[in-house]
Amino acid sequence: MKVLRALISVSDKRGVVELARRLQALGVEIISTGGTARALREGGVRVVDVSEVTGFPEMMDGRVKTLHPVIHGGILALRQKREHMEELERHGIKTIDLVVVNLYPFEETVGRGAGLQEAVENIDIGGPAMIRSAAKNFTDVAVVVDPEDYRWVIEELERTGCLSEDSRRRLAVKAFSHTARYDAVISSYLNRTFGVEEFPEILNLSYRRAGVLRYGENPHQRGVLYVDGTGRGIAGARCLQGKQLSFNNYLDLDAAWELLGEFDEPTAAIMKHGNPCGVASAGDLAEAYGKAHACDPVSAYGGVVGLNREVDGETAERIASTFIEAVVAPGYSREALEALAKKQNMRVVEMRDGSDGLQYRQISGGVLVQDRDSVLLTGELRFVTSRRPSGAELADLLFAWKVAKHVRSNAIVLAREKQAVGIGAGQMSRVDSAEMAIKKAGGRAMGSVMASDGFIPFPDTVERAAAAGVASIIQPGGSIRDSEVIAAAERLGLSLVLTGTRHFRH
């Protein structure tokens, strides 16, 4: 496909003058509009205004300029179809062989908090129409929507005098992806703004590829990171140091940050395979990290550390004293960065804002959508045994309850003095999770409290906890055997607190 005429109209003007100069050197006639035409002329490029081609001026503050049969006929005509070419000749329309268009910056506009009127004016109409026309007619027309593609496109034209069919197909696919994302962002914004449907009938999710990972969960699986464009969450965090973040790093970092969101006081969390293996709160970050690491030092080896304060030098020295894959925090002091730099491969991540809104889980053939679990308790605590927890025990119960919310079900957490001392995760029976947590805690179970993310179905978990020295238990309640479980706690001298709220995590 030889390029004789090109239409260039871009919002993102990176590299467009250089592209146009090199097209002009190849003898390509260039049609352009508004600000793009102005920029090209200032760069020494000869330009034919769209209004000269259509015979109509731009109208309605630029809302109408390229929506014209002369433009779309020149793009959509099938060169091999005699009837199409005869129609072009009859109406005095010339073909357009290359369309270089990118769209009004709608996403950037709403991202900086613009009002509805400004957002609406940044909904591009003519641009998507031209892109779709050119992409539809990829057999005869090339369409370029990404400035990153300018270099290889012009080099292919300079080298061969044309663009191959494979290149045109590749560009067409990218073009339709470009307009699909654009429409998805607009749809999502207007739905949020107008409050039409919290769970819309048609769910449009749009993500942009941000990078190729070394591999997925395992070396034989491919892995890629896509981002939603908000700059929020772990996907939008800055990696200050270390090797490229892996697929599993992202999962653990995300889990750590979600857990840390439960706590106001200085808190450290150590994650391993999606579960916390150590969590603690304290008066300062260094103490919190030390207590978190002491929960399960064996499992902490090679884990991911999350901290909810700017990391100081002392905390960083402690982290650097052992093998940690990655660290995430809202910031780092100069001393902290110097200490962590001793471990060159350790990923050091600076977090911005966390995520909010809905959560998505892919299943075969579909997607499950739910509200983010942002509630700790949905009602008042119920104290159902004659022995009530002391003030210190109640503080530990609420600490353990926050941690259990972020442990894979079935989840059991033992805690003491705002330090997790034993965590049982992901077992098929609750008593097995309790056994695991008690085993991890060892002698530290004596005088601790226990949290269960779901109701305790049988007295056996209470009996096992009492035998290990647990003093108080918090759980949702709601089992048909609640009375038996409460009776067991009463008989064994434990305090039992019911939340009425469940926090399953699959």
Instruction: Please confirm whether the linkage preceding 410 is cis (ω < 30° from 0).
Output: yes
Q: Where are the alpha helices (DSSP H) in 79-164?
A: 82-91, 106-111, 116-121, 126-136, 150-160
Cα 41 to Cα 3, 30, 123, 199, 391: the distances in Å are 21, 11, 26, 48, 75
Of 341, 299, 352, nearest in space to 319 by CA:
341
Catalytic residue among 13, 84, 94, 136: 136
Quote the radius of gyration of the chain (alpha carbons, Å). 30
273 is an active site residue = yes
**How much of the chain is in helix, strand and coil states, percent to nearest 5?**
40, 20, 40
Backbone angles phi, psi at 243, to 5 degrees: -65, 165
Burial, 51: exposed, middle or buried (Cβ in 10 Å; 0-12, 13-18, 19+)?
middle
Is 470 in contact with 391 (CB distance < 8 Å)? no
Of 93, 99, 97, 107, nearest in space to 131 by CA:
99
Residue 464: in which H helix or E strand, if any? helix 459-468
136 is an active site residue = yes
What angle is formed at CA 250 by the lines to CA 244 and CA 254, rounded to 5 degrees?
Answer: 145
Catalytic residue among 273, 343, 402, 406: 273
Distance CA 232, CA 488 (A): 47
Distance CA 407, CA 329 (A): 20
Give the residue numbers annotated as catalytic, written as ranges: 136, 273
